[in-house]
């Protein structure tokens, strides 16, 4: 099969032909249709988040089941599925407590070592040398996924656009449902309206937020956020974004989502809160990024800062897919660009230049591997 391999930190992705992996106990093999282009991959490629190399990146996929590993009784081969970037083991203390987003083996084995939960990768070069897997290693024609990380797609959904369901959409859903506990009539600011932020805009509007303010420095992204439901747009490149949000809301928002992972935008989002407001931090930052918080204001004004990493796949993904099937939310509308697999490096270069509005996807060749 063909795969986009990160040979070393700072190098462009290169297309290699590697063996098709085999699923082991508790796993499934997916023929990948498309893989989302996410900024978290870019952090790894640039060395801002440590991860072993060489590696196959890509962590939000759609495709079809082609083989079940031992002990797996479904979904049946041929079923169209979306894969979630958090692949819950189902057995650790966090998973037993329904906190799939804190799955211990996922962080300890996959995010630190690039393996699945027996401590071994499923991906190798033809000479047998290992390739680390970022989640399932979705920038490839086939991917092995723990069975708890794949979910049948509604028939109403095009398979390629469904790639964004398992990270961008799931992250936005988790930020609203678990991070913000958003109530109808709330006033909301979304700082950073890229792939995840634009979906937070859409989902917040669908949840019944009274006012959804999109904040960005890119006019094209702000226009797209308006099309997805933002009631107001603030161009942070032309003035004081915090002052503008306070003016628009008459004193601040109930919830501010920070979707970039930058010190400046984190502090902007915190400054946009009204008394008793909540900041939901969603954006992944380079590991050395810190943000100084004014402790006295945090205490006196009853502010809350909540981290939100994705959602809880086994409970949240079925609910999210039901909302998508009913047309309540349309995350596929955020897909703005498509790249073939042999242009995966170009897709991430465009993302790094902040040229992607919404989400880009890498589409796999419809050819025998």
Domains in the chain with CATH codes:
2-167+312-363 (3.90.180.10), 172-307 (3.40.50.720)
Q: Could you give phi then psi for residue 338, rounded to 5 degrees? A: -125, 140
**What's the confidence (pLDDT) of residue 368?**
43
Q: Which pTM was predicted?
A: 0.94
Contacts 24+ apart (CB under 8 A), 203-210: 203/172, 203/173, 203/176, 203/329, 204/176, 204/229, 204/257, 205/229, 205/230, 205/231, 206/323, 206/328, 206/329, 207/176, 207/182, 208/183, 208/184, 209/182, 209/184, 209/185, 210/184, 210/185, 210/186
The pLDDT tens digits of the residues spanning 90-112 come to: 999 999 999 999 999 999 999 99
The pLDDT tens digits of the residues spanning 19-44 come to: 999 999 999 999 999 999 999 999 99
Rounded average pLDDT over 198-216: 96
Checking if the pLDDT of 360 tops 50, the result is yes
Helix (H) or strand (E) run with residue 5 in it: strand 2-6
- What span, in angstroms and rounded, lies between the C-alpha atoms of 162 and 153? 8
Checking if the pLDDT of 7 tops 50, the result is yes
Checking if the pLDDT of 366 tops 80, the result is no
285: tokens are 């930052």
- What span, in angstroms and rounded, lies between the C-alpha atoms of 306 and 362? 32
- What span, in angstroms and rounded, lies between the C-alpha atoms of 123 and 101? 24
179: tokens are 């991070």
Strands 27-37 and 142-146: antiparallel
- What span, in angstroms and rounded, lies between the C-alpha atoms of 272 and 253? 6
Q: Do residues 284 and 43 make contact, with C-beta atoms less than 8 angstroms apart?
A: yes
Q: Do residues 108 and 114 make contact, with C-beta atoms less than 8 angstroms apart?
A: no
Omega within 30 of 0 (cis) for the link into 54: yes
When the pLDDT of each residue in the chain is averaged and rounded to a whole number, the result is 96
pLDDT confidence band for 243 (50 / 70 / 90): very high
Distance between start and end Cα atoms, the chain: 5
Rounded average pLDDT over 137-161: 97
**What's the confidence (pLDDT) of residue 182?**
85
pLDDT confidence band for 369 (50 / 70 / 90): very low
**E-assigned strands of 326-366?**
335-340, 359-363
Checking if the pLDDT of 233 tops 90, the result is yes
Residue scoring higher pLDDT (269 or 184): 269
- What span, in angstroms and rounded, lies between the C-alpha atoms of 334 and 233? 17
Checking if the pLDDT of 134 tops 70, the result is yes
Residue from 296, 67, 27 nearest 148 by CA: 27
Q: Which residue has the tokens 């590696």?
A: 55
């Amino acid at each position: 099969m063909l795969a986009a391999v990160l040979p070393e930190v700072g190098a462009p992705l290169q297309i290699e032909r590697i063996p098709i992996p085999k699923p082991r106990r508790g796993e499934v093999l997916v023929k990948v249709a498309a893989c989302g282009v996410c900024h978290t991959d870019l952090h790894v490629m640039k060395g801002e988040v440590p991860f072993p190399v060489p590696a196959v990146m890509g962590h939000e996929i759609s495709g079809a089941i082609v083989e079940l590993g031992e002990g797996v009784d479904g979904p049946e081969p041929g079923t169209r599925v979306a894969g979630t970037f958090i692949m819950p083991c189902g057995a650790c203390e966090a998973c037993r407590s329904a906190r799939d987003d804190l799955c211990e083996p996922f962080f300890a084995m996959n995010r630190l070592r690039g393996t699945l939960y027996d401590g071994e990768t499923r991906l190798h070069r033809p000479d047998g040398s290992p390739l680390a897997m970022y989640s399932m290693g979705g920038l490839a024609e086939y991917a092995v996924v723990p069975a708890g990380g794949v979910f049948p797609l509604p028939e109403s959904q095009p398979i390629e656009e469904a790639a964004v369901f398992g990270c961008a959409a799931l992250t936005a859903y988790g930020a609203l449902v678990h991070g913000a506990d958003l109530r109808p009539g709330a006033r909301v600011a979304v700082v950073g309206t890229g792939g995840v932020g634009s979906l937070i805009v859409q989902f917040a509007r669908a949840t019944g937020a009274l006012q959804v303010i999109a904040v960005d420095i890119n006019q094209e992204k702000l226009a797209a956020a308006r099309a997805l439901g933002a009631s107001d747009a603030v161009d942070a490149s032309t003035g004081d974004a915090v002052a503008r949000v306070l003016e628009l809301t008459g004193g601040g928002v109930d919830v501010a989502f920070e979707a970039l992972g930058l010190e400046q935008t984190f502090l902007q989002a915190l400054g946009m809160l009204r008394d008793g407001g909540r900041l939901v931090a969603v954006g992944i930052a380079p590991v050395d990024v810190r943000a100084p918080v004014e402790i006295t204001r945090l205490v006196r004004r009853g502010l809350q800062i909540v981290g939100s990493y994705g959602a809880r796949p086994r409970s949240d993904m079925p609910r999210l897919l039901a909302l998508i099937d009913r047309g309540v939310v349309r995350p596929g509308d955020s897909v703005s660009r498509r790249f073939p697999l042999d242009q995966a490096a170009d897709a991430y270069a465009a993302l790094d230049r902040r040229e992607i509005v919404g989400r880009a996807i890498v589409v796999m060749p419809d050819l025998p591997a």
